[in-house]
Structure 1
Amino acid sequence: MSKGNRGRDRAAARRIVEQQKAAAKRRRVTIWTSVAVVAVLLIAGLIGWGVYASQSKNDAAGVVTPSVAVDDGTAFALGTGPVTIDVYEDFMCPICHQFENAAGDTIAQMVTDKKVTVRYHTVAILDDASNGTKYSTRSAGAAAAAAEGGKFKEYHDALYDNQPEENSDGLSDAKLIELGKGVGLGDDFAKAVTGKTYDAWVGKVTDTFSARGFNGTPTVVVNGKQVTGPNGSVPTADVLTKAVDAAAG
């Protein structure tokens, strides 16, 4: 082999070595860049999870569950009968009022006769129908405060007797307190209303309502089975009675 050829070969070999070194360097840069990106994403994810967990903890900490609430803290029970009626209602809902007028006395009699335990779930799905005052939440929170004061049903009935029109401002807090005084509730009730003690709890009840697959009020459930009238309408007192009798066996 001539000296010229040997020189060219050595030069070619050096170029190959240099190319291999450069490729190895690029691989190292790529690897460390990838590691850095993964680390950043991991840190961001951990920070995000920490924020979420902190917010969830704070939200949970902000929920004051009435001590008298049943069904995982989402309802107020009347009666001790073997058949359970769950009524999901919104105090702004006119059809809920109609159901109460139509079936309320029947339910009360079944409670007296110890045939049923009725559980009232006060949800807030019509907050948008009160011109920004969130009447559904406020009235349900006031009902919870009334339950703590031992006057749930009395206050429940007073709210329906004074039900505002849908898409109105709803009753003021002062009026809610006035209704409470009318059924024998005092300062603790008034403080809970003005302090919105149970408003966050109403959100929990409403979320539970949705999680159970319901989306309209009133929703009536007997021993875990939703009861409706013809074509999915609100059940009448007669339909409800038959459902209770069937559940009782």
Structure 2
Amino acid sequence: MSTHAPHISSPSRVPASASPSGDGIVVGGGPVAVDAFIDFLCPFCKQFEATSGPILDELVAEGAITLVYHPMGFLDDLSTTRYSSRASAASGCASDGGDFVEYLYMLFARQPPEGGWRACPTTNWSNSGARWDWRTVRSPRASGRAHTWAGAPT
């Protein structure tokens, strides 16, 4: 057994609006910090967002809180495509475009079942009418915009 603390390396690239520690996406700028640890495949995370999201949005809009979302991939084993990690990484690309919250809502609205197959978390919204160019998020590796940050803390 080692007596040395494990070394956790920081990701080489973090998304726009990343927290100072690089492990979350900052929404708002109020004096009270609220951290939400989410997995886009988690039905309880979806339920939390559905019930608490509007209240959190209101508090952000009023400048009362700084909301930090921490996308994680703890349910990757319940998908055949590592959906959780892929959706988390793609959320970083959405953040780069200033559309993290819109992307978060869309993913939870179109959440696949645990254990189900989903080709790609970005195919869920290719026809969603989003205002950003979905092709840059759909293939972030091809565009050189891939984020590995979401898998780092999980």
TM score, norm. by length of structure 2:
0.83
CA contact (8 A) 1:125 1:136 kept: yes
Q: Which residue of 2 aligns with 1:155?
A: 103
Q: Which residue of 2 aligns with 1:126?
A: 75
Separation (CA, whole Å) in 2 of partners of 1:88 and 1:102: 15
* Runs of 4+ residues deviating >2 angstroms: 59-64, 170-174, 187-191, 193-196
- Structure 2 residue runs without a partner (length 5+): 1-6
Q: Deviations over 1:165-203 (max 9, x none)?
A: 011113525615616x632222433331666811x2122
Greater Cα shift, 189-198 or 136-145: 189-198
Aligned length: 146
- Which one has more relative contact order, counting CA pairs under 8 Å at least 6 apart? 2
Q: Deviations over 1:209-230 (max 9, x none)?
A: xxxxxxxxxxxxxxxxxxxxxx
Separation (CA, whole Å) in 1 of partners of 2:40 and 2:65: 23
Does residue 184 of the first structure (1) align with residue 135 of the second (2)?
no
Does residue 138 of the first structure (1) align with residue 70 of the second (2)?
no
Secondary structure at the aligned position of 1:88 is classed as strand
Output the aligned Cα RMSD.
Answer: 2.5
Separation (CA, whole Å) in 2 of partners of 1:77 and 1:170: 28
Separation (CA, whole Å) in 1 of partners of 2:112 and 2:33: 30
Could you say which structure has the larger radius of gyration? 1
- Structure 1 residue runs without a partner (length 5+): 1-55, 207-249
Code of the aligned partner of 1:97: K
Equivalent of 2:61, from 80, 92, 112?
112
**Percent identity between the aligned chains?**
30
Separation (CA, whole Å) in 2 of partners of 1:81 and 1:204: 27
Q: Which residue of 2 aligns with 1:64?
A: 13
Q: Which residue of 2 aligns with 1:103?
A: 52
Q: Which residue of 1 aligns with 2:43?
A: 94
TM score, norm. by length of structure 1:
0.53
The 1:101–1:174 alpha-carbon spacing in structure 2 relative to 1, beyond 3 Å, is: closer
Which structure has more helix as a fraction of its residues?
1
Q: CA deviation at 1:64?
A: 2.4
